[in-house]
């Protein structure tokens, strides 16, 4: 099934209903969007000479034309390559070359940079600027038919954010997109045409996937004018649009919950805040639940199993009377309806409940492989299971708790230390805004734990002794960091995920040049 058929269906059932909104303004009704999509898809094939299976990248900030391009690409039987517009030019060049992209649809802001890649990226023929004259030319084409696609045909090449290495393109098929959408209805939320989804996070990543079930059911996709998360704007849009859901990275949840505009907004219009993509710290979640209420749902997924491995439902977030409520809040929830999830040892043998191992997943939502990477595909999908690289454990209730990506594990003095639990402990200190813990090479210990601490605004930076005490309150002595360093901000990638690799690399480099301080540093005063 070609998911672009949803537009035609909605155009018949809800012709005058808002389909895409630019802030408070209706950009297109379902009738408009379906008509534009039908014209654009003809334009892509006939004016740009594209044929079924060709790759077309989208490089623009969130805007209505993004969604128009994405669905027109599918309608025309082409493969969409959504690229995060905030990537470096060289990273973009890599993705375009690797995917063999021949046409890019870009907004004006990015068009010049991307155009300079024509000639440098062998497959790239042209860049279409949207909105703009090229876009208008495509829109002036006659309406073309929807190109039939099989469930196993590629729809979306999802380049992973690369916190752990060179990006790889998970090939997401129409089957994968459909299963991810159906699973959203099964486990996360129902959606009706009276609902809306606020697209604040980059559409090239998770937010684009969460948008699909909303398109399927005729809800309105609302693109914020600010292009991001702005509390005042969100409050204003909550007045205008009802049943509003949004996808937020954990760091965004914290920002929303502490923003007075959001807290005092018309929260009756807020439906579900879906968070995921990185660990959510308990203290932040509890605070958000207190001020916003049980409107949260958590999702654990990967590009390779789009937004669908486990989920912590809204009911779980509301179950304060459950004896293990807090443990559940610290987990990533239970396996989603459409997948099987296992936790295994290094030989892929299941480990008992409570024991840590790698998380494996199998189901129709899992990608068939990485684009043009047969070796990485065979390795990741060995035995028919997706090897996530995430380390976790099931509890006796069937909830999965993630500890770390296997590469994040630090082994110090022969003891395994999972940085996540040390971070959780340090975040209990009121003067700690954010923290990332990782290891540095150490002659005595093999690796020594280093905590990079961002002190809270306006509070006195905590002393290493206080931070030690926060750890000792909750953790075994050996898990205390050997060193604390203080930063203004943690390095993050374009999706807001903390890039520990940079911190680890910095520590490695210091070890090689012998410049590692090796002692606990005092905070700046």
- Residues contributing to the site for ligand AMP (CB under 6 A): 160-161, 276-279, 298-303, 332, 388, 390, 402, 405
Shortest distance, CB of residue 278 to ligand AMP, whole angstroms? 5
- 305-312 sheet: strands from edge to edge: 25-29, 18-22, 220-223, 196-198, 244-248, 270-276, 296-302, 305-312, 334-335
Cα 337 from Cα 333, distance rounded (Å): 12
Residue among 37 and 199 whose Cβ is closer to ligand AMP: 199
Shortest distance, CB of residue 76 to ligand AMP, whole angstroms? 27
Q: Does the CA dihedral 456-459-465-468 come out positive or negative?
A: negative
> What number of residues does the chain have?
525
Shortest distance, CB of residue 402 to ligand AMP, whole angstroms? 5
| Structure tokens that stand for 350 in this block | 């299941």
- Which residues, 6+ apart, have CB-to-CB distance to 165 below 8 Å? none
Shortest distance, CB of residue 23 to ligand AMP, whole angstroms? 27
Residue among 208 and 481 whose Cβ is closer to ligand AMP: 208
Residue among 43 and 277 whose Cβ is closer to ligand AMP: 277
- Which residues, 6+ apart, have CB-to-CB distance to 412 below 8 Å? 439, 442, 445, 446, 447, 448, 449, 478, 482
Region class of 293: left (phi > 0), else alpha (psi between -120 and 50), else beta: left
Cα 436 from Cα 491, distance rounded (Å): 10
Residue among 223 and 280 whose Cβ is closer to ligand AMP: 280
Cα 243 from Cα 213, distance rounded (Å): 14
Residue among 342 and 405 whose Cβ is closer to ligand AMP: 405
Shortest distance, CB of residue 46 to ligand AMP, whole angstroms? 35
Residue among 147 and 278 whose Cβ is closer to ligand AMP: 278
State the pairing for strand pair 79-82/334-335: unpaired
Shortest distance, CB of residue 4 to ligand AMP, whole angstroms? 24
Shortest distance, CB of residue 154 to ligand AMP, whole angstroms? 17
Q: Are 426 and 461 in contact (CB under 8 A)?
A: no
Closest CA to 317 of 252, 354, 273, 277: 273
Residue among 208 and 218 whose Cβ is closer to ligand AMP: 208
Residue among 376 and 511 whose Cβ is closer to ligand AMP: 376
Residue among 42 and 176 whose Cβ is closer to ligand AMP: 176
Shortest distance, CB of residue 273 to ligand AMP, whole angstroms? 13
Shortest distance, CB of residue 248 to ligand AMP, whole angstroms? 12
Greatest Cα-to-Cα distance within the chain, rounded to the nearest angstrom: 72
Contacts of the segment 119-126: beta carbons below 8 A, 24+ positions apart: 120/93, 121/93, 121/96, 121/97, 122/97, 123/55, 123/96, 123/97, 124/96, 125/48, 126/48, 126/102
Taking residue 63's Cβ as centre, other Cβ atoms within 10 Å add up to 21
| Structure tokens that stand for 239 in this block | 């007045």
Residue among 242 and 406 whose Cβ is closer to ligand AMP: 406
Residue among 242 and 494 whose Cβ is closer to ligand AMP: 494
In terms of C-beta density within 10 A (0-12 exposed, 13-18 middle, 19 or more buried), how is residue 204 classed? buried
| Structure tokens that stand for 307 in this block | 């937004």
Shortest distance, CB of residue 191 to ligand AMP, whole angstroms? 21
Closest CA to 396 of 344, 338, 323: 323
Q: What angle do CA 459, 465, 469 make, to 5 degrees?
A: 95
Shortest distance, CB of residue 61 to ligand AMP, whole angstroms? 19
Residue among 206 and 455 whose Cβ is closer to ligand AMP: 206
| Structure tokens that stand for 275 in this block | 């968070």
Shortest distance, CB of residue 336 to ligand AMP, whole angstroms? 12
């Amino acid at each position: 099934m070609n998911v672009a058929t949803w537009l035609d269906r909605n155009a018949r059932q809800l012709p005058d209903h808002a389909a895409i909104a630019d802030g408070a303004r209706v950009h297109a009704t379902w009738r408009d969007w379906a008509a534009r999509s039908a014209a654009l898809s003809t334009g892509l094939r006939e004016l740009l000479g594209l044929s079924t299976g060709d790759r077309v990248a989208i490089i623009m900030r969130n805007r209505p034309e993004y969604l128009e391009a994405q669905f027109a690409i599918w309608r025309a039987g082409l493969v969409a390559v959504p690229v995060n517009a905030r990537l470096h030019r060289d990273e973009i060049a890599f993705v375009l070359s690797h995917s063999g992209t021949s046409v890019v649809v870009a907004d004006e802001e990015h068009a010049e940079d991307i155009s300079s890649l024509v000639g440098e990226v062998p497959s790239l023929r042209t860049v279409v600027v949207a909105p703009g004259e090229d876009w208008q030319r495509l829109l002036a084409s006659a309406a073309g038919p929807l190109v039939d696609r099989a469930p196993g045909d590629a729809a979306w090449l999802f380049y992973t954010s690369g916190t752990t290495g060179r990006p790889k393109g998970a090939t997401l098929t129409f089957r994968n997109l459909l299963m991810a959408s159906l699973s959203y209805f099964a486990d996360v939320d129902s959606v009706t045409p009276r609902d809306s989804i606020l697209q604040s996070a980059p559409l090239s990543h998770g937010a684009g996937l969460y948008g699909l079930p909303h398109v399927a059911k005729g809800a309105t996709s609302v693109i914020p004018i600010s292009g991001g998360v702005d509390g005042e704007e969100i409050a204003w849009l909550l007045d205008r649009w009802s049943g509003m859901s949004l996808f937020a990275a954990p760091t965004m949840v914290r920002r929303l919950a502490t923003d007075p505009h959001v807290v005092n907004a018309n929260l009756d219009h807020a439906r579900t805040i879906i968070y995921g993509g990185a660990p959510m710290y308990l203290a932040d979640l509890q605070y958000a639940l207190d001020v916003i209420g049980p409107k949260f749902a958590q999702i654990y997924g990967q590009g390779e199993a789009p937004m669908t491995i486990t989920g912590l439902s809204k009911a779980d977030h509301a179950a304060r009377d459950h004896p293990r409520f807090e443990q559940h809040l610290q987990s990533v929830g239970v396996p989603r309806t459409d997948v099987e999830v296992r936790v295994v040892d290094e030989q892929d043998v299941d480990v008992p409940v409570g024991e840590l191992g790698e998380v494996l997943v199998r189901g129709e939502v899992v990608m068939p492989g990485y684009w043009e990477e047969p070796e990485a595909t065979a390795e990741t999908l060995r035995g028919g299971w997706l090897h996530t690289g995430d380390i976790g454990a099931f509890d006796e209730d069937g909830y999965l708790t993630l500890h770390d990506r296997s590469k994040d594990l630090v082994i110090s003095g022969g003891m395994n230390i999972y940085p996540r639990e040390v971070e959780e402990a340090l975040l209990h200190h009121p003067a700690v805004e954010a923290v990332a813990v990782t290891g540095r090479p150490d002659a005595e210990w093999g690796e020594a734990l280093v905590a990079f601490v961002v002190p809270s605004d306006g509070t006195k930076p905590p002393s290493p002794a206080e931070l030690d005490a926060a750890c000792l309150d909750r953790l075994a002595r050996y898990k205390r960091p050997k060193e604390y360093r203080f930063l203004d901000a943690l390095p993050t990638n374009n999706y807001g995920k903390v890039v520990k690799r940079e911190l680890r690399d910095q520590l490695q480099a210091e070890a090689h040049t012998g410049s590692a301080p090796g002692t606990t540093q005092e905070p700046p005063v």
